[in-house]
Amino acid sequence: MEGVYEAAALALRFWFMVAAALVLLGVISISIKEYRDKRYVLGVAHSSIGYMTILSGPDDVMGSNISLMNRNTIGRSRRVDIVFNDRSVDKAHSQIYQAENGTVYVNCLGRGDVTVNGQLVDDVCPIYDGDVVCFGNVVARIHLKDNDYTRDEDE
């Protein structure tokens, strides 16, 4: 009888250590995943040139903030970087990109209209923080970060 008691006590003692080790491994695994996710988000935020807020357009993007990278292709196709499911937007409608000198530009890729603050863009146009850009019927306000170029200096 004493041998059974000792065997049960020994099994319970090791069961607790195994359970504690499993919990510790779970916590470490979750911490590593959160660290990788945070590092990814900070990397994306660091490489971002700003964002655009959708003022009007399709309901699925209305009011959302969309991050802008160094080069962004905008359109209706799944092959572009920023997708707007609106018939007024071409499959590859426009691009927003940052030039080597730091100036951010918008250009036309398709046949659809692109306007900056109500002015039609024929080919390429510089954009600045606070500008309103329309891609067909989709209206967005541009918010740029760390841009030393302001509209007053260039005009």
Per-residue model confidence as pLDDT tens for the chain (155 residues)? 778 888 888 887 788 888 899 999 999 999 999 988 888 777 666 678 899 999 998 888 889 899 898 899 999 999 999 999 989 999 999 999 999 898 999 999 878 889 999 999 988 999 999 999 999 999 999 999 865 555 555 55
Q: Which tokens is 91 given?
A: 């499959």
Domain count, the chain: 2
Note whether 99 and 125 are same-domain residues. yes
Domain extent for 37: 1-47
**Secondary-structure breakdown of the chain: helix, strand, coil percentages, each rounded to the nearest 5:** 30, 30, 35
Report which of 151, 101, 153, 152 is spatially closest to residue 142, judged by C-alpha positions.
151
DSSP notation for 44-113: HHHH--EEEEEEES-TTTTT-EEEE-SEEEEESSTTSSEE---TTS-TT-EEEEE-TTS-EEEEE-SSS-
Note whether 130 and 66 are same-domain residues. yes
